[in-house]
Structure 1
Amino acid sequence: MTDSTLDRPEVTTTAGRVRGRWRDASAAFLGIPFAEPPVGELRFAAPVPHRPWEEVLDAGEHGATPQRTALAEITLIPEPSYPGESTLNVDVFTPRPGDADAKLPVLVYVHGGGYVAGSPASPWYDGAAFNRDGIVTVSVSYRLGFDGFGWIEDAPANRGVLDWILALEWVRDNIASFGGDPAQVTIAGQSAGGGAVLTLLTVPRAAHLFQRVYSISATTASVTREDAERYGRALAAAAGVEPTRAGLSTLTEERILALQGEDDAVASPDAPADPLAPLRALASGSALRWAPVVDGDLVSAPIGAAVADGVGADKALVLGATDNEFNLAAADMRETLADADPAALLTAIGVSEEAAGAYAAAHPDLDTAGTLGQFVTDTMFRAPARAIAESRAAGGAPAWAYRFAWTSPTFGTAVHRLDVPFFFDCLHSERVGYIAGEQPPASLADDVHGAAVRFIATGDPGWPAYTAPERDVQVFDVPTTVVRDGLADVGALQSAR
């Protein structure tokens, strides 16, 4: 196929026709707006479905992104930023554009970035490999940081969550035109995106919009209504405006982005410098200030509590993490902490003396910085994943747990985001070599991506579900194996927090 106008694929959506572009055996439709631009009166409002257009919309290039500055050096994933006001878009990748009878299963992917960064336009999120395997793929954008999650006196809470829901409603109403089946939708995401799909799992308003959840390295942290208000009032006060839509709308986007990243906008200016503060915040779950808010309405409870109460039990769930997600969090302090007692430092970041001693004793091969970093990994990612799997098992709901244990040859550990190019089977994509080395194992991509394909298509990833007493866990490595009680090492961590 050529890329001329006549040979480019066109599809009709509820708002008008869109024109994508062919790439080998599939087509990409990029930057399709599912909502009106969140500017002016809509800046801090709930998202509004995009009005119809008359001419064919060119969807051959990525649309504007909520992220304004690319952060690849921090996130490790190339996630480009594009300017513009119409930032609420979907990218659709499909092998069967225009074939409403194809009824292919659908993957909807939510990017990570701590709810303040990230972009759906990453080449890693291209759905080509999933298209090859008969799956329509959609990557969605959402408002980030304060714009998406900050408390404002007279604005709806959880605007970013509302963006996710409206994007899923767009998928429900339009994906058949791209060859997808709206009754076979799996939502997936990594890091904050993993937290996003777990949040959606617990939001009744979203329940009818998807059937399965694949959560990768999810942060399960949420913000209380009280903390959200405190953060929002502090940001407005730092800017010298009222904490209202009118007051905050006088601030430029650049000013709010600067304020939301300043620690002293929400912390006491008299607080002494504390080198362990970042680790304490990460381990306690308080590091994410701009994140889904437990508002008692749209989001009625924290993720763990909602799952324990059986919310979302009708949805099949896969979840897991890399073995060493945030071990690098303390790496810069390795020399400084070389002679320090790891148990004492764990106590200093809020762990009970008994639990700190037990944790340090259980990791004799790690130095002090390594012990602190592994503790952050375990408390932020691995222990919450196990707790959710336990809750699901206790309630008889389907759940499958995994670990990604393969070690990056460049970082020396199974770092945060290392598994993403294996999930998308894009090992030859931009920047993959930086995180996974120049020759990442294709067999591991076959295992990770293949499990995702099976789950999206059938609801079963191909290894035993997590049930007592076996508590089987898939360990993605070379070779991949199933390990009985494969998350036992983090089973006692809940009491350490």
Structure 2
Amino acid sequence: MSSEPIVTTKHGDVRGRVSDAGVYTFKGIPYAAAPVGPNRFRPPQPPEPWPAPRDAAEYGPIAPQASVDGDGPLADLAPRSVVHGDDYLNLNVWTPGLDERLPVLVFIHGGSFTSGSGSIPGYDGTRFARDGVVLVTVNYRLGADGFLWFGDGIPNLGLLDQIAALTWVRDNISGFGGDPGNVTVFGESAGAMSVCSLLAMPAAEGLFHRVIAESGAGHSTISPATARLIGTRLAAVLGVEPTRAAIADVPMPQLIAAQTQLAQEITAKPKTKLWGEVARNLMPFEPIVDGDLLPAPPIERIAAGAGAQVDVLIGTNREEARLFLVPTGAAAKITGPVVHAAAARYGLPAFRGAGRYRANRPGATPGDLLSAIATDWYYWIPALRLAEAHPGTHVYEFAWRSPAFDHALGACHALELPFVFDNLDDPAFKPFVGENPPQQVADAMHKAWIDFATNGDPGWPAYTPQHRIAMRFDTESASTVDDRADERALWNGRR
């Protein structure tokens, strides 16, 4: 076995490495040309072929994004792996062997469509490869470069990048020991919203066979009108005309700073007349329902039968919103009236809904109640709606509570990731999981993801409106039947 194996791809040979554990790694492989210069704000273009073997020992550049350097409350909880450069439409592959025909998992990272990368060390695919799966992680365009649209040109460039990466997998993965006929695309947060959008996009049809959505579903999109509101304000912040051409002339650091200012403005004054749908979820850059690439909101397309042939596993964390309320100190400042106003804003019967959540949580603070209601509105109920719309979907909930912030962080957003990747020992995850996270939870989740990618069965029955079975992952994992039925019923007809 060579310590520097070479694989031939459509655009040239790549030279990988073999770890002491016998896992082959290939990093920083371009799947599209650098999205700069004439390729800026264009659909992904093929990379230039390279004549000599390309070294694939190190991660490639990541998409331009704001830095998390400093002492902010989320800085330690948002690990990054920063490599600067233009050629950031690249991917990474981990495989146990080159002569196999193994299931393939393709991971789409989260980060509110403005941050993150496929090269965060915690996404290392060694343990997936150890267990007989080829793991691929990808980068894609973020922020304005990926999702800015004024109504002309091609929208949803970030999603088109993901489709280009999946096309690369279809065309090349057999050389890395993967089966192009058995591809599962999975993602977390914005990555989960992405994979649900891909499930609804005609251009992605046939590129994958299964979907896993962690903490995101088919409801997070914006209209063309909202996209124009966001783009126009971004241009005003920059002092340029509201066109892609004008924004393309702005230096990248200035554009990133303007995107950050825009997000702060939305958070400070979340008014629908100013920001459209973005006023509800506070994410300025999201997939756009343009009527062509994304013909309708994903949940509507899926309910109408889009992706009917694709197996789906979807789930959420029990206390998603605590990530955004606890480290910032916001949870301690929430009052009862704020909880009632939020319940009404989210579509719950304000007093009856908040009262039910309070009755089910004796001793809960207003911050606890807001976290529970916001979690269900934005994550749990959309996941159940998608499961109801797509027959045969499997549902899970991650319930293990982090010890961080004196155990107040709870089963928060993104906490499941080190368990899914079985990378509990990664130092970047220590602020999340503490000193002694339960290995048995990682064993259970990691195996379920592998089993699902292999044959579509994660190990428990599918969710149906008649038999609402889900798997709860905790120190003692077990299936549940219509958990919190009374709270679920409050959301009937909503989200």
User: TM-score with structure 2 length normalisation?
Assistant: 0.91
Identity rate, percent = 39
Higher mean displacement: 146-155 or 182-191? 146-155
Which range moved further: 22-31 or 236-245?
A: 236-245
Structure 2 gaps of 5+ residues are none
Could you tell me how far apart the structure 2 residues matched to 1:274 and 1:45 are? 32
Deviation of residue 469 (structure 1)?
1.9
CA contact (8 A) 1:475 1:482 kept: yes
Report how far residue 350 of structure 1 moved.
6.7
Q: Deviations over 1:201-224 (max 9, x none)?
A: 111211110000011111541111
Find the partner of 1:54 among 45, 51, 54. 51
In structure 2, the CA distance between the partners of 1:345 and 1:181, relative to structure 1 (3 Å rule), is closer
Deviation string 1:301-335 (CA, Å, 9 cap, x unpaired) is: 11222222221111110000110011243342344
Change (3 A) 1:274 1:114: closer
| Partner residue of 2:8 out of 4, 7, 12 | 12
Describe the SS at the equivalent of 2:225: helix
- Cα distance in 1 for residues equivalent to 2:347 and 2:466: 32
Q: Is the 8 A contact 1:143 1:160 kept in 2?
A: yes
After TM superposition, the structure 1 = structure 2 runs for residues 77-226 of structure 1, keeping only pairs within 5 Å, are 77-97=78-98, 99=99, 102-218=100-216, 220-226=219-225
1:34 aligns with 2:28: no
Aligned-partner residue type, residue 246 of structure 2: G
Mark the CA change 1:335 to 1:233 in structure 2 (over 3 Å): closer, same or farther. closer
SS at match of 2:404: coil
Tell me how far 1:225 sits from its aligned partner. Answer: 1.1
- The range that moved more, 226-235 or 337-346, is 337-346
Q: Deviations over 1:95-129 (max 9, x none)?
A: 113x2xx2111000000000000011111111111
C-alpha separation between the residues in 2 aligned to 1:355 and 1:491?
10
The 1-side partners of 2:263 and 2:451 are apart by: 47
- The AA in structure 2 aligned to 1:9 is P
Contact 1:154–1:244 (Cα < 8 Å) also in 2: no
Instruction: Read off the aligned partner of 2:445 and give its amino acid letter.
Output: V
Q: Do the aligned partners of residues 452 and 349 (structure 1) sit closer, same or farther apart at CA in structure 2, a change above 3 Å counting?
A: closer
Specify the alignment match of 2:404 in structure 1.
410
- Which range is displaced more, 483-492 or 467-476? 483-492
Secondary structure of 1:171's match? helix
Deviations, residues 229-284 of structure 1 (Å, cap 9, x unaligned):
111122123322223332122111112111122238976xxx9x66999xx99997
Task: Between 251-260 and 183-192, report the one with greater CA deviation.
Answer: 251-260
Change (3 A) 1:316 1:182: same
In 1, Cα distance between the equivalents of 2:265 and 2:462?
43
Aligned equivalent of 2:293:
298
* Partner secondary structure for residue 387 of structure 1: helix
Is the CA contact (8 Å cut-off) linking 2:346 and 2:377 kept in structure 1?
Answer: no
Shift of 1:348: 6.7
Q: Which residue of 2 aligns with 1:432?
A: 429
How far did 1:434 drift? Answer: 1.2
Spell out the pairing of 1:267-278 with structure 2 (5 A cutoff): none
Task: Tell me, in whole angstroms, the C-alpha distance in 1 between the residues paired with 2:366 and 2:277.
Answer: 17
- Please report how far the alpha carbon of residue 387 of structure 1 lies from its aligned counterpart in structure 2 after TM superposition: 1.1
C-alpha contact (below 8 Å) 1:107/1:137 kept by paired residues:
yes
- Give the equivalent residue in structure 1 for 2:22: 25
Unmatched tracts of structure 1, length 5 or more: none
Deviation of the 1:342 alpha carbon: 3.5
SS at match of 1:209: coil
Structure 2: distance between partners of 1:52 and 1:367: 59
Q: Which letter does structure 2 place at the counterpart of 1:189?
A: G
Q: Cα distance 1:415–1:341, how it changes in 2: closer, same or farther (>3 A)?
A: closer
The alignment partner of 2:333 has SS state of: coil
Q: Secondary structure at the match of 1:407?
A: coil
Of 399, 405, 409, the residue aligned with 2:393 is 399
Superimposed CA distance per residue, residues 3-36 of structure 1 (whole angstroms, 9 cap, x where no aligned partner): xxx7311100000000011112111100000111
